[in-house]
Amino acid sequence: MNLDELRKLEPDEQLHYFLEEQKKMEKQMLPDLDITQVRHFLHIFKVNAQAMWNYQPRVYPGKIIFFRASEKDAINAKNPERAWLDLAQEGLEVIDVPGNHITMNESPHVQVIAERLKAYLEKAPMES
């Protein structure tokens, strides 16, 4: 099916087509999902994209701890921490963690983030 034919379909028909095509792929991107779950994921994607476009970063008066994925790809920035340099008044500490932009937030990689963050918080001064 070409793009013009796909555009003529109703939104739910497009989702069904996508699900069927995805099932035919040797290396499926998604687990077995039904149309309700796909609609939910699309909604979350749209809300997150809108939040990203609306976000206006401001200067942070403290130090920023930036967890950087060690696995690089062609899509994500090579040094994503650079965007935060001018916003961190007390500097920026970059901590490399295993995984890519997505998998760094999943087990087992997220445990590395948790351990590094815990160690940092334990040595941070207590505010009252």
Measured between alpha carbons, how far is 32 from 30 in angstroms, rounded to an integer?
6
Q: Are 47 and 74 in the same domain?
A: no
The confidence score (pLDDT) of residue 33 equals 72
Mean pLDDT by 10 residues, the chain (128 residues): 86 83 66 78 90 94 94 84 94 94 90 94 75
The confidence score (pLDDT) of residue 35 equals 80
Q: Are 114 and 94 in the same domain?
A: yes
In a domain, 59, yes or no: no
Instruction: Determine contact, residues 89/62, Cβ cutoff 8 Å.
Output: yes
Range of the domain at 119: 64-123
Instruction: Determine contact, residues 42/49, Cβ cutoff 8 Å.
Output: no
Q: Is the pTM of this model over 0.95?
A: no
The total of structural domains in the chain comes to: 2
Instruction: Determine contact, residues 99/69, Cβ cutoff 8 Å.
Output: yes
